[in-house]
Amino acid sequence: MEKFREFGWDRVTANREASWNSVHDIFIRVLEAEAPRLHYDIPGKPWVDKDPDLFKTFEDMEAYDRDPAARTRSVLDALSTQSLDRDVVFEGSKGRRRPTIEDILIHTFVDELAHLEPICLMRQQDTEPPYIPWLRLHPRTA
């Protein structure tokens, strides 16, 4: 969030004509790529999309970012090799779906990769984007 603060609220929320208009909206969408699949679909709870306009400050964005990270770690720690084959049934935009947990994890990873636009948009504005240290943010003990 520090890099977003350096970038400035006006620049973070400016319409860049990207997939979700602004760096702000894309960031919220990236968080939502993870939350509904891992925190709602896998445990069988209904999901309602969050309106990016609800996040009016960097603090709002930071608080929303902090919550899914801890819950994702909990979900991933609870998985076993055998659970990856378990079917998950949920209602999607195109009707009832029945992917496996492994399918959901792959989809979430690919969806998050597809939304790396904030990094590109920040570089277009001559601003160094945040470094995302995946292994440090998602430590696993041996």
Look at residue 142 and tell me if it is in a domain. no
Look at residue 60 and tell me if it is in a domain. yes
pLDDT in tens, 116-129: 777 777 778 787 77
Look at residue 123 and tell me if it is in a domain. yes
Classify strands 90-92 and 95-97 as parallel, antiparallel or unpaired.
Answer: antiparallel
Q: Could you tell me the CATH number of the domain that includes residue 38? A: 1.20.120.450
pLDDT in tens, 17-70: 877 788 888 888 877 777 788 888 888 888 877 888 899 999 999 888 776 777
pTM as predicted? 0.65
**pLDDT of 139 strictly over 80:** no
75: how many CB neighbours lie within 10 A of its CB?
A: 17
Look at residue 95 and tell me if it is in a domain. yes
pLDDT of residue 74: 85
Look at residue 33 and tell me if it is in a domain. yes
pLDDT in tens, 104-116: 888 888 877 766 7
Cβ atoms of residues 101 and 86 within 8 Å = yes
**pLDDT of 79 strictly over 80:** yes
The full 3-state SS of the chain, as one line of letters, equals: CHHHHHHCHHHHHCCCCECCECHHHHHHHHHHHHHHHHHHHCCCCCCCCCCHHHCCCHHHHHHHHHHHHHHHHHHHHHCCCHHHHCECCEEECCEEECCEHHHHHHHHHHHHHHCCHHHHHHHHCCCCCCCCCHHHHCCCCC
pLDDT band at 137, cuts 50/70/90?
A: low
Instruction: Tell me the residue range of the domain where 27 lies.
Output: 2-137
Q: Mean pLDDT, to the nearest integer, of 77-99?
A: 87
Q: Please name the amino acid found at residue 45.
A: K
pLDDT of residue 57: 95
**pLDDT of 135 strictly over 70:** no
Look at residue 120 and tell me if it is in a domain. yes
**pLDDT of 4 strictly over 90:** no
How many domains does the structure of the chain reveal? 1
Q: Which residues face 81 on adjacent strands?
A: none
